[in-house]
């Protein structure tokens, strides 16, 4: 399983600096939605220019205009671009085609999807690269996590890689792996660590353990 670091509420310059300490030990760096809302595609460009060998995900959460918006993200340097699972099939297909045209990947975020299993089957047949279960940050204080939905879609998805996000910590990262995730996404639990490099190494050890 790969480890993805979600960078959300942080300045662009600080994000680029921090990734410099972990570029050789992290698998995917996510430029989070809050940073993109604040600074547009500049953080994506800056991250990819600074670390061309690091896989960069632009969490744009496309809901419409799939081809156009995914095109902007991949042209800025994103290796992976996100689109919402509740978006129309045409939007998802447009994002998929725009990403694949440049050899990049599309990630479908299942945030707020009601029929997770049914939609996961449809998305898998569409040829998307990642299907991600996601417990929203506004919901996490209630104690809910992505684990049940992760197990449910892992049982039906045959082709796409599966990702999980939402409240994942060092204590649960190996459980996420065992439940069938190909990518474990960690945000605040890593970002609040004083030594990010040591923390990422600890997570990777748990994943590989």
Please give the pLDDT value at position 140.
46
What are the sequence ranges of the domains in the chain? 2-208
Stated pTM of the model: 0.95
CA distance 28 to 184: 10
Which two three-digit tokens encode residue 160? 């796409």
Kind plus residue range of the DSSP H or E element containing 133: strand 130-134
Kind plus residue range of the DSSP H or E element containing 28: strand 28-31
Q: Of 96, 65, 205, which Cα lies nearest the Cα of 159?
A: 96
CA distance 17 to 205: 23
Per-residue tens of pLDDT for the chain, all 209 residues: 999 999 999 999 999 999 999 999 999 999 999 999 999 999 999 999 999 999 999 999 999 999 999 999 999 999 999 999 999 999 999 999 999 999 999 999 999 999 999 999 999 999 999 999 977 565 445 445 678 899 999 999 999 999 999 889 999 999 999 999 999 999 999 999 999 999 999 999 999 98
Please give the pLDDT value at position 119.
98
Which two three-digit tokens encode residue 209? 């353990």
Taking domain 2-208, whether its CATH number is 3.20.20.70 is answered by yes
């Amino acid at each position: 399983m790969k480890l993805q670091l979600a960078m959300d509420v942080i300045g662009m310059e600080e994000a680029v600096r921090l990734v410099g300490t972990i570029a050789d030990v992290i698998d995917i760096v996510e430029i989070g939605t809050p940073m993109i809302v604040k600074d547009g595609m500049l953080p994506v460009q800056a991250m990819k220019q600074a670390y061309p060998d690091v896989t960069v995900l632009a969490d744009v959460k496309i809901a419409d205009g799939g081809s156009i918006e995914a095109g902007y993200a991949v042209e800025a340097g994103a290796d992976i671009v996100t689109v919402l699972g509740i978006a129309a099939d045409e939007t998802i297909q447009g994002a998929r085609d725009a990403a694949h045209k440049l050899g990049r990947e599309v990630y479908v975020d299942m945030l707020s999807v009601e029929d997770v299993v049914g939609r996961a089957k449809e998305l898998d047949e569409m040829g998307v690269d990642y299907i991600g279960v996601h417990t929203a940050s506004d919901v996490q204080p209630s104690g809910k996590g992505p684990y049940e939905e992760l197990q449910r879609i892992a049982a039906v998805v045959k082709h796409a890689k599966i990702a999980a996000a939402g409240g994942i910590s060092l204590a649960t990262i190996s459980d996420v792996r065992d439940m069938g995730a190909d990518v474990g996404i960690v945000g605040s639990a890593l970002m609040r660590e004083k030594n990010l490099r040591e923390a990422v190494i600890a997570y990777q050890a748990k994943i590989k353990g």
